Amino acid sequence: MPRFNIQHITSYIYEGPVRDSANQIILYPLQDEFQEVHHQEIRITGDPQVEVYRNYYGNLVGSFMHAEPHSTLVINSKVEVFVKSRPMPSDEIPAPQQWQQLHEIRHHTPYIDFLKQENVEALPEIESFAALQSLKVNTPLHAANHLTTLVYENFTYIKGITDVETTLNEIWKLRAGVCQDFAHMLLAMLRLLEIPARYVSGYICPNKNGMRGEGATHAWVEAYIPYFGWVGFDPTNNCITNDLHVRLATGRSFSDVSPVKGTYKGTAAHTLEVGVSVSYENGETIDAPETILTPQPNKNGESISNSYRRHMEMMQQQQ
């Protein structure tokens, strides 16, 4: 069973002292028959007391308050996780019977939330592009695999042109982005087919196989396959997830599983740095903590990669 050591650091540096910082963290990996957390340590500036509870989607959530004035806030999570290989789903049951089961459960808990579609203008275009109705001649598993490949082959993986607030309409127009954008696009397609689908946050553990997002935070989708259960599909890497994907949390979209979010009193100007180090299967960590922190762009920040975004916007205006 592969063992991974993961370190996830979030660092806020403020221009001046701030106070009454109230925060929520979702940094506790899921635990079930395929994933076991052997040890976890979370250190936070000021050593506040963290209250941990399980939310509606089954994720462990921590909340804390740092009331005293402070100019930095660092949240440092270290965790050791064991991951077990999963059995692959099969297509032994006839397709019409599987689609019928999906139709019957569409109003049942816990599937309702994972069938709700965002209010997106581009949905008719997405449905036409994916030729969704024609996929129902095959099984839901075949359809999910097909759509995973469709996103992988038709969307360009480019860092820096999107952020966590980029809408599905924007992703559709750009036909580009990173793992969270690929996941949101696949979610929309699966839900249009009435296949319950949920967003998954986590990490891809390095295996020297060239997977996108290796050794970093990652996002993918889990779809409900009739008579089998939830199956992970990674449209960024065109694969079914297994023991190299460590699941952190699940929800309807990124907003449900954001690793760190909060509010505070004081100056709005700050710098955010995030770093992740993920070990190889033998537990050997390849990055030192001081080398993994990377500045994150501000909401209004521009990156060099955004030249692609500006080019796409110009092309759309000319059409």
Dihedral sign of CA atoms 43, 48, 49, 55 in order: negative
Amino acid at 129: F
- What is the tens place of the pLDDT at every residue in 114-164? 999 988 899 999 999 999 989 999 999 999 999 999 999 999 999 889 988
Read off the tokens for 135.
């996929």
Any idea which fold 3-83+257-302 has? Immunoglobulin-like (2.60.40)
User: Is residue 98 scored above 70 in pLDDT?
Assistant: yes
Higher pLDDT, 57 or 213: 57
Instruction: Tell me how far apart the alpha carbons of residues 24 and 247 are, in angstroms, rounded to a whole number.
Output: 18
Looking at residue 256, its pLDDT comes to 96
pLDDT bracket for residue 53 (50, 70, 90): very high
Torsion of CA 145, 223, 231, 151, to 10 degrees: 30
Q: Tokens in use for 219?
A: 């996002």
Q: Where in the chain is the domain with CATH 3.10.620.30?
A: 95-256
Rg (CA), the chain: 20
Helical axes 123-130 vs 179-192, angle rounded to 10° = 80
23: confidence class by pLDDT, cuts 50, 70, 90: very high
Distance CA 80, CA 57 (A): 23
- What CATH number labels 95-256? 3.10.620.30
Q: What single-letter amino acid sits at 79?
A: V
Q: What percent of the chain has pLDDT over 70?
A: 86
Average pLDDT over residues 252-276: 92
Looking at the predicted structure, is the pLDDT value of residue 311 above 50?
A: no
Where in the chain are all domains bearing CATH 2.60.40.2250?
3-83+257-302
Alpha-carbon distance of 225 to 102, in angstroms, equals 8
What average pLDDT does this structure show over 165-187?
Answer: 95
CA atoms of 18 and 72, how far apart (whole Å): 9
